[in-house]
Amino acid sequence: MNIQDKIKALRELQSRMSAYEHAMSLIYYDGATTAPKGTAENRGHALAILSEETYKMATGGETVRLLEELDAVRDTLSDEDSRMVYLMYKDIKELKKIPLEEYVAYQELLVRADDVWHRAKESSDFESFRPVLEEIFAAEKRFAAYCAPEKKPYDYCLDKYEPGLTTEKCDEFFSALKERIVPLIAKIAEKEQIDDTCIHGKFDLGAQRDFSLKLMKHMGIDLECCGLGETEHPFTTSIGSHRDVRITTNYSEDDFTSSMYSVIHEGGHALYDMNSKDSYAYTVLDGGISMGIHESQSRFYENLLGRSRKYIESIFPIIRECFPEETVNTTPENLYRAVNRVSPSLIRVEADEVTYCLHVMVRYELEKRIMSGELEVKDLPIEWNRLYKEYLGVDVPDDRRGVLQDSHWSGGGIGYFPSYALGSAYGAHILSKMKNDIDVDTCLANGDFAAINNWNREKIWSHGRMLPPDKLLTSVLGEEFDPKYYLDYLEEKYSELYGLN
């Protein structure tokens, strides 16, 4: 085979693997949204087999040889082909280090764990979840030892979600945040609290569902290629390629902004996923490059845009239309203030922007200590509750609103959480650059996302996985990432809101 034939073979392999990814993402999505409750085992059977097939396809001699040969001539390939070879070879070299049986057993474990977690959360019973969570952490430790024995086990986890991220960098980043966020929270606590009664009441679920679709359309999501589902925990997934993306939300009858901000958050993920260069479909270049960059987009739409005064003013008529009676006494300004109320609380996904990163730090601390062996899974609830008291000053009343609240651990997502904080900070730095090119406030005031989305598409989304996260970020920012933009943003916004200084 000459090089062009090899590239063709590699593209065919990626296309074939994308069909398996399509199937597996859909089985997962179905399991979380519509599958009957008693079908997890059946789903596990299929996923185990399909993941075995992909493992074999990826690590088979033919594939490895192809990649070895192409890797040797990588500097002669086009940028896209070269990146394709790099990404695949890197993943596959790592995957080969995990024995097939362990890999398959882990996929089955995750299906089981998802089911167990749902039931455990419902009954607020950590003990029933503990055994599978122990298995998950044990597997992660083994995988870390197989794949990256030279690293701290937790660094292996972090790198999966944000290539290049380490415990050291995280510690530094979080300590920079703490230094300015903790005093900010203290100052806010001294001030009169914002009245947020306008977001509470009884909001019909049918009206909330309609509202979700309107929100998605308003932010420029093409509903022909993006679906909306309902799950215990909101998430976004693409099905096989960027041409089919699904987001989910979770409705709270007594607060319409709970789902509203989930929809905008997941909508940000969806926009990123849906806007890869079209020719990247069915290749490894399709989709987002890291979870940090991903969260920079989701938290950008959710907070930097979605919790801004101008956005609230432009979305307000739609809110009035969907909930006419419930919002009869609400003004845009009241609503703006209510959705920005700062108050240490229990649930991460509902947390305000200022305290949000403390929720992330709790999880980061716990994961780090479990992966290093300092902490045992059985002690998670006690430690969780202790850290919530220490960091946020709140008492956790039960595990449902504590250690069982997130779906990440049951899904094997250890090392994911820091992405939320990183992404939030990336986003603020990105916004400062966007404002040099675009009058963001006017776009928001007009409810016109075209210019904003075009900017993100050109600078970030369309690149798919072509650039590593640090390079992508530097290319967007024109300088090194710096969390100070985020901290400046928080201080400025909340000083105005709470009348600080």
Non-local CB neighbours of 436 within 8 Å, separated by 6+ positions: none
Non-local CB neighbours of 399 within 8 Å, separated by 6+ positions: 120, 121, 124, 125, 126, 381
For its own copies, which residue of 9, 35, 198, 394 counts as binding (CB under 8 A)?
A: 35
Asked if 38 interacts with its own copies (CB under 8 A), we say yes
**Closer to its own copies by Cβ: residue 3 or 49:** 49
What is the per-residue DSSP string for 256-276? HHHHHHHHHHHHHHHHHHHTS
Residues 217-276 that bind its own copies (CB under 8 A): 222-227, 229, 239-241, 243-244, 246
Non-local CB neighbours of 409 within 8 Å, separated by 6+ positions: 117, 133, 136
CB of 237 to its own copies, least distance (A): 12
CB of 264 to its own copies, least distance (A): 18
**Closer to its own copies by Cβ: residue 20 or 86:** 20
User: What long-range pairs does 233-236 form, CB within 8 A, spacing at least 24?
Assistant: 233/349, 233/406, 233/407, 234/262, 234/263, 234/265, 234/266, 234/349, 235/32, 235/266, 235/407, 236/266, 236/269, 236/270, 236/273, 236/298
For its own copies, which residue of 43, 294, 309, 310 counts as binding (CB under 8 A)?
A: 43
CB of 30 to its own copies, least distance (A): 6
* One character per residue 171-210, x = contact with its own copies (rule: CB under 8 A): -----------------------------------x----
Residue 245 parent element (H or E): strand 241-249
Number of H helices, E strands in the chain: 20, 3
Distance CA 161, CA 415 (A): 7
**Which tokens is 366 given?**
């716990």
Please state at what angle helix 126-147 crosses helix 153-161, rounded to 10 degrees: 90
CB of 271 to its own copies, least distance (A): 14
**Closer to its own copies by Cβ: residue 16 or 389:** 16
Asked if 36 interacts with its own copies (CB under 8 A), we say yes
Distance CA 234, CA 104 (A): 26
Contact in structure between 10 and 84 (CB atoms under 8 Å): yes
> Candidates 14-22, 174-182, 429-437, 466-474 — which segment interacts with its own copies by CB under 8 A?
14-22
Asked if 352 interacts with its own copies (CB under 8 A), we say no
The neighbouring-strand residues paired with 299 are: none
Distance CA 250, CA 246 (A): 14
Q: Tell me how far the alpha carbon of residue 65 is from its chain's centroid.
A: 34
Catalytic residue chosen out of the listed positions 266, 302, 353, 491:
266
CB of 33 to its own copies, least distance (A): 7
CB of 245 to its own copies, least distance (A): 8
Kindly state the greatest CA–CA separation across the chain: 73
Non-local CB neighbours of 33 within 8 Å, separated by 6+ positions: 229, 230, 231, 248
The footprint of its own copies on this chain (CB under 8 A) covers a number of residues equal to 44
**Closer to its own copies by Cβ: residue 45 or 65:** 45
CB of 54 to its own copies, least distance (A): 11
Judged by DSSP in three states, 247 sits in strand
For its own copies, which residue of 1, 3, 45, 202 counts as binding (CB under 8 A)?
A: 45
For its own copies, which residue of 1, 3, 8, 15 counts as binding (CB under 8 A)?
A: 15
Examine the residue annotation and report whether 122 is marked as an active-site residue of this protein. Answer: no
**Which tokens is 36 given?**
């009957």
At residue 230, what are phi and psi to the nearest 5 degrees? Answer: -120, 130
**Closer to its own copies by Cβ: residue 185 or 221:** 221
For its own copies, which residue of 7, 10, 13, 27 counts as binding (CB under 8 A)?
A: 27
Residue 208 parent element (H or E): helix 205-218
CB of 355 to its own copies, least distance (A): 35
**Closer to its own copies by Cβ: residue 238 or 330:** 238
CB of 76 to its own copies, least distance (A): 30
**Closer to its own copies by Cβ: residue 108 or 491:** 108
Residues 54-113 that bind its own copies (CB under 8 A): none
> Candidates 27-35, 379-387, 435-443, 449-457 — which segment interacts with its own copies by CB under 8 A?
27-35
Residues 425-444 that bind its own copies (CB under 8 A): none
The residues assigned a catalytic role are 266
Which residues make up the interface to its own copies (CB under 8 A)?
A: 15-16, 18-20, 22-24, 26-27, 30, 33-39, 41-43, 45-50, 53, 206, 222-227, 229, 239-241, 243-244, 246, 281-282
